[in-house]
């Protein structure tokens, strides 16, 4: 049976929530045309997308009457951010951060947290 360090789990869970929030903010900024820097580390692009769905009233009728009532789908346009070709340097840094957290004692975690706090 595998052991799970709950302290590490809580740290990673909290980091994941905060990173997800920050990532969503950055994606929104990119979609809105923000200036990007360090472009040689990855390819980031905004992709125009379309999705179709029935409006709420039509969805209620759909199961029984879609074919009979000729209900048309509503077209929704949206954008999403795609990233690929992430540099090996970035992959290695992310792996090192996770390994440091997995192998860390409280002193190391405090040092990492204080260094991150100092860089703000």
Residue 105 reports pLDDT greater than 80: no
Return the closest-CA partner of residue 47 out of 87, 85, 80.
80
More confident of the two residues 117 and 66 = 66
CB burial of residue 112 (10 Å; 0-12, 13-18, 19+): middle
- Beta-carbon neighbour count of residue 100 at 10 Å? 13
Using one digit for the tens of pLDDT, what is the confidence trace for 55-95? 888 777 777 787 787 777 778 898 888 887 878 887 888 77
Report pLDDT digits (tens) over 23-53. 999 999 999 999 998 888 899 999 998 888 8
- The helix-helix angle for 6-31 and 88-103 (nearest 10°) equals 150
Domain ranges of the chain: 1-35, 36-85, 87-120
């Amino acid at each position: 049976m595998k052991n799970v360090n709950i302290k590490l789990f809580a740290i990673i869970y909290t980091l994941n929530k905060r990173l997800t929030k920050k990532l969503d903010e950055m994606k929104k900024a990119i979609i809105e045309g923000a200036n990007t820097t360090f472009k040689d580390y990855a390819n980031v692009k905004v992709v125009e997308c379309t999705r179709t769905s029935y409006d709420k009233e039509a969805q209620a009728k759909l199961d029984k009457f879609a074919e009979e009532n000729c209900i048309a789908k509503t077209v929704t346009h949206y954008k999403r951010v795609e990233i690929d070709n992430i540099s090996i340097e970035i992959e290695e840094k992310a792996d090192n951060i996770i390994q440091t957290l997995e192998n860390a004692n409280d002193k190391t975690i405090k040092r990492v947290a204080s260094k991150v706090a100092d860089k703000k």
